[in-house]
Amino acid sequence: MHIASGEPDDRKSLEELINTDFLGDRTGNEKLRRGSDYLRDDLVATGDLPGAVTEALRNIALDWRYLHPSLPNLHD
């Protein structure tokens, strides 16, 4: 999974393009430009794609310094 704000010369940050408020409180104040992570093979192989996506999103949020990200439930 890869999330980016656009072209490298684009001046907008991700916070200007998507709402990250649902992730909770963030430490640090650098602008978010991109994030990426891989879907775990063991979760995808067992058919738990929602679990794999949730884990990837959680890892991206942690990289963005949301230490306790509040992710939506993708299993419903």
Asked if 62 and 24 count as a contact pair (C-beta separation under 8 A), the reply is no
Q: What is the pLDDT of residue 50?
A: 87
What integer pLDDT is reported at residue 75 of this predicted model?
A: 62
pLDDT at res. 9 = 64
Q: Tens digit of pLDDT for each residue in 29-44?
A: 888 888 899 998 998 9
**pLDDT of 41-73, one tens digit each?**
998 999 988 889 889 999 999 999 999 988 877
Domain map of the chain by residue range?
2-63
Beta strands in the chain, from DSSP E residues, in sequence order? 2-4, 34-36
pLDDT of residue 36: 92
